[in-house]
Amino acid sequence: MAENFTKAGAKYGFYFNQTRCNGCKACQIACIDKHDLPLGVHWRKVAEYSGGTWKVQGNTFQPKVFAYYVSISCNHCEYPVCMEVCPTTAMSRREDGTVYVDESKCVGCRYCQWACPYGAPQLNPETGHMSKCDLCYDYRSEGKDPACVAACPSRALEWGPIDELRKKHGNLNGIAPLPDPSLTEPHLVIEAHRDAEPWDQATGEITNPKEI
């Protein structure tokens, strides 16, 4: 997958196979380790989402419950609202479509974090600047996969030109608990879990809010 970085004019994104994810959080840990992130700063998060109810069957009640995981980072959106609201133009975009923080311009106002429906930008308390996933630009420049992709033991994550990922895996990107994808048109493709709920028909809840 790493060779995709050399394709001129391509815009990059992530593919997440929800059917393979077991919630181990290796992707999240690898990101923290690679970027030496301070406590509480997560560029990739793994949400545990569950719900369900009881179904009446004859004279008995049968449980009808579900649970699945969502691994999410910055989606390097087609229309990144973080760039729109940034008062200093610190939120910038490379030619490959990936969004990054120009720390020489950032004042740490957090407007980007509040505006992003995915909460991707994070304030680094050690620098006073915003920080976020840039799809491991340095690794990709060296022909390597992003840290999260390389670390996943079940190969639930891929990266590459978003057009190619959509052609290969489809266009689904609005799975609960994620927001309405039309807000930013994320460069994200999801292979949905069998019990996955659409973003606008969500009945479950995130069960690990303190972790994310």
pLDDT higher than threshold 80 for residue 6:
no
The answer to whether residue 166 is domain-embedded is: yes
Amino acid at 207: T
Cα separation, 68 vs 66, whole angstroms = 7
For the chain, give the mean pLDDT.
Answer: 95
Residue 4 domain flag: no
Residue 57 inside a domain? The answer is yes
Q: 144, 136 in Cβ contact below 8 A?
A: yes
Q: Is 33 a member of any domain? A: yes
Partnered with residue 124 across adjacent β-strands are 129
Q: Confirm whether 212 is domain-assigned.
A: no
Q: How many domains does the chain have?
A: 1
Tokens 């980072």, residue?
73
Q: What is the mean pLDDT of residues 197-201?
A: 97
User: Is 92 exposed, middle or buried (CB count within 10 Å of its CB: 0-12, 13-18, 19+)?
Assistant: middle
Q: Is the pLDDT of residue 157 over 70?
A: yes
Residue 3, pLDDT score: 47
d(CA 134, CA 170): 23
Is residue 173 scored above 90 in pLDDT? yes
Residues of the chain with pLDDT > 90, as a percent, come to 90
Task: Tell me the whole-structure pTM to 2 decimals.
Answer: 0.92
Structural domain contains residue 47: yes
Per the listing, tokens 């609202």 go with 81
Q: Which of 135, 30, 129 is nearest to 93 (CA)?
A: 135
Total Cβ atoms within 10 A of residue 147: 22
Q: Is residue 2 part of a domain?
A: no
CA distance 143 to 108: 32
Report the pLDDT averaged over residues 71-86. 98
CATH number of domain containing 63: 3.30.70.20
Confidence of residue 4 (pLDDT cuts 50, 70, 90): very low
Confidence check: pLDDT of 196 > 90: yes
Q: What is the DSSP letter of 142?
A: T
Domain that holds residue 160: 12-206
User: Of 176, 179, 180, whose CA–CA distance to 50 is shortest?
Assistant: 176
In terms of residues, how long is the chain? 212
Is the pLDDT at 151 greater than 50? The verdict is yes
Would you state the pLDDT for residue 8? 66
Instruction: Decide if pLDDT at 5 tops 60.
Output: no
Look at residue 9 and tell me whether its pLDDT is greater than 90: no
Q: What is the pLDDT of residue 64?
A: 85
Region 97-117 average pLDDT: 97
